[in-house]
Amino acid sequence: MGTDPVCSFDRRAVGVNRRDLLGQLLDRSDCTCLALENNDENGSRGETNLSGYAVLRPGRQHWQLGPIVAETETAYAQLVSGAAKRCTESVVVDAPTDGGDDLLTQSGLTPERRLVRMAHAEPQPLLLNETVKAVAGLEWG
């Protein structure tokens, strides 16, 4: 699958165009993109045939899982399960603390650290809505 369906789904889900960021991630030969096709032939909202995606890549010491963007908890669970089957060692997932990590702990992962993002101005809801289950990581901004 090319980057276009993932980028289109992501833009609709998070509200901003992250094509450059996602392109850099997805073009890496060591990255795996897990994408779930929507069973609805027109796509969930008529723009894409995806219901979620996740990116898995090797890190310096651990696998890195993120971003994870999913329309439903079922899609989220399928993406986490698919990623777990591909990980041969420990994995790091940077998940929002507003309930997004419940499925991760139910899947056997243990919180190792808690991070707080700080903003000078009023934080915007973009990139932090209910479809964003995990972020790409601190090094990706």
**Digitized pLDDT (tens) for each residue of the chain, 141 residues in all:** 568 899 999 999 888 899 998 999 899 999 999 999 986 654 444 456 899 999 999 988 889 999 999 999 999 999 998 998 888 788 888 887 665 667 888 877 777 777 666 666 776 665 666 787 777 765 554
Residue with tokens 């899609």: 75
CA dihedral 112, 114, 117, 122 (to 10 degrees): 150
State the residue range of the domain holding 126.
3-112+119-140
Q: What is the pTM of this model?
A: 0.81
Alpha carbons 113 and 67: distance in angstroms, whole number: 18
Q: What is the CATH number of the domain that holds 134?
A: 3.40.630
